């Protein structure tokens, strides 16, 4: 007797060839979710499509945000030939062949869209090969990349492309995708509400990854009770966080970390530190950035901050991971809570600028050593006043070269230890003035 085949069974028979993510790929621009800033009425990309006035472009966004689907639907909307190409598996000969085909299309009045996935993988020569065919309109290039085009593409190519930034999919969009998947499957996922939230969190803004996880749950789980977050891990492997130590995410997170420290937000600083560590960042790099922060943004407002930075690096070197990472967390908390001052940093920059602006000014001759008789005869060291011979160990003599403006270089704040330094500097300036005027 022939058995009937359910919708779910037939679906998963097809899925041996065609994944769920491909089956649920949008079929028109209205079905693309999470990119309203590009596709709503009046938005630039939508206008380009509606007016059939496409320019070569690059779609920049994280994995699973819809770059490939969008490129295909743009080609469909403007009735252009669509040729997808992977930069990983293609070379110059593949490009030349496609360029020739595009020229033939152009002779019969048909546009050609060349879609290059992972376009940042092309080397400089391959990227340069696009320049003439973009210039003369042979092709409309749509590149897709997860990397910042400013870093990933040659300036000559980038100058000929419009950059459209696609956003990471928000949680509300991912829940919509779960609903669509359940409709396609003809059944609810075996997840309680908490497990569903955990699934969305695991997707981390990646719609394709979410659908792949849904497919894995539907095909692997045969239990009778809803899955909980705790036993999801028995079915799904944890996804590696989106972090590339050599690319933009590295710079984005260290910038967020540094600015959170500067803004005295302890919790945010700890979060960005944890994100970097979780992404595989070298803890010693974070420790070195803390040392830099201590000198740039805290300075003498709290001189112990520098000791904390150096100590956390030394502690990590001795302990390694994960024990040594606690020392980095401690230094992070200390510096975020410390009083802030960039007075030392600004004084250094000002001193360097004065050194460049005023060239090779000679020090006052009175403070120069005279190791030879000639130098003694020329007056080197004459009338030098040894500060320890004076009350308060302060002579008030001039140490600046002639021609250098008589203005403060280091100007401390009123925060932390620098308040005391400011009081001392005020006393020294007044004392120098009194000594130079002949008063005591």
pLDDT in tens, 14-27: 444 578 888 888 99
Backbone angles phi, psi at 281, to 5 degrees: -65, 145
pTM (2 d.p.)? 0.66
What are the residues whose beta carbons fall under 8 Å from the beta carbon of 330, sequence distance 6 or more?
A: 308, 312
pLDDT digits (tens, 9 = 90+) for 270-304: 999 999 998 888 899 999 999 999 999 999 999 99
Of 234, 221, 232, residue with least CA distance to 192: 232
Query: Which segments in the chain show pLDDT lower than 70?
Result: 1-17, 237-249, 439-440
Which residue is it, tokens 């042979």?
138
**pLDDT at residue 3, rounded to an integer:** 40
Per-residue pLDDT, 14: 46
Reported as type and span, the H/E element at residue 331 is helix 325-337
Question: CA 246, CA 244: separation in Å to the nearest integer?
Answer: 5
DSSP-derived secondary structure letter, 363: P
The rounded distance, in Å, linking the Cα atoms of 276 and 273 is 5
Q: Going by C-beta distance under 8 Å and a sequence separation of 6 or more, which residues neighbour residue 429? A: none
CA triple 336-255-330, angle to 5 deg: 30
Task: Please give the pLDDT value at position 343.
Answer: 95
Distance (Å) of CA 206 to CA 7, 102, 237, 258, 399: 27, 33, 15, 27, 63
For position 7, what pLDDT does the model report?
45
pLDDT value for 17: 55
pLDDT value at position 185?
87
Exposure of 268 in the CB half-sphere (CA atoms within 13 A): 14
């Amino acid at each position: 007797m022939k058995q009937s085949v359910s919708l779910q069974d037939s679906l998963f028979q097809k899925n041996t060839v065609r994944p769920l993510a491909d089956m649920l790929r949008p079929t028109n621009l209205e079905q693309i979710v999470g990119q309203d800033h590009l596709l709503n009425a009046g938005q630039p990309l939508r206008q380009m499509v509606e007016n059939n006035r496409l320019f070569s472009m690059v779609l920049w966004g994280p994995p699973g945000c819809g770059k490939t689907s969008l490129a295909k639907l743009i080609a469909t909307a403007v009735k252009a030939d669509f040729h997808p190409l992977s930069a990983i598996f293609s070379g110059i000969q593949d490009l030349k062949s496609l360029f020739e085909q595009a020229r033939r299309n152009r002779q019969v009045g048909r546009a050609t869209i060349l879609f290059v996935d992972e376009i940042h993988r092309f080397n400089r020569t391959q990227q340069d090969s696009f320049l003439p065919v973009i210039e003369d309109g042979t092709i409309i290039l749509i590149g897709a990349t997860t990397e910042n085009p400013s870093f990933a593409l040659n300036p000559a190519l980038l100058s000929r492309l419009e950059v459209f930034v696609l956003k990471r999919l928000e949680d509300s969009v991912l829940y919509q995708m779960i609903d669509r998947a359940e409709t396609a499957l003809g059944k609810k996922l075996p997840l309680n509400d908490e497990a569903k939230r955990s699934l969305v969190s695991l997707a981390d803004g990646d719609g394709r990854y979410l659908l792949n996880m849904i497919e894995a749950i539907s095909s692997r789980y045969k239990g009778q009770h809803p899955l909980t977050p705790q036993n999801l891990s028995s079915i799904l492997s944890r996804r590696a966080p989106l972090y590339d130590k050599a690319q933009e995410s590295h710079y984005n997170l260290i910038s967020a970390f540094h600015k959170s420290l500067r803004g005295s937000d302890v919790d945010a600083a700890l979060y960005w530190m944890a994100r970097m560590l979780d992404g595989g960042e070298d803890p010693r790099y974070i420790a070195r950035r803390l040392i830099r922060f201590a000198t740039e943004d805290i300075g003498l407002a709290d001189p112990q901050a520098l000791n904390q930075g150096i100590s956390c690096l030394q502690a990590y070197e001795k302990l390694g991971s994960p024990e040594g990472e606690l020392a980095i967390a401690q230094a992070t908390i200390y510096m975020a809570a410390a009083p802030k001052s960039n007075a030392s940093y600004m004084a250094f920059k000002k001193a360097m600028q004065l050194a460049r602006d005023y060239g090779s000014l000679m020090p006052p001759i009175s403070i120069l050593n005279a190791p030879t008789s000639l130098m003694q005869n020329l007056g080197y060291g004459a009338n030098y006043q040894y500060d320890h011979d004076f009350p308060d160990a302060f002579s008030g003599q001039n140490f600046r070269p002639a021609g250098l403006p008589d203005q403060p270089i280091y100007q401390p704040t009123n925060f932390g230890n620098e308040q005391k330094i400011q009081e001392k500097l005020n006393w020294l300036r007044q004392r120098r003035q009194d000594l130079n005027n002949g008063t005591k």
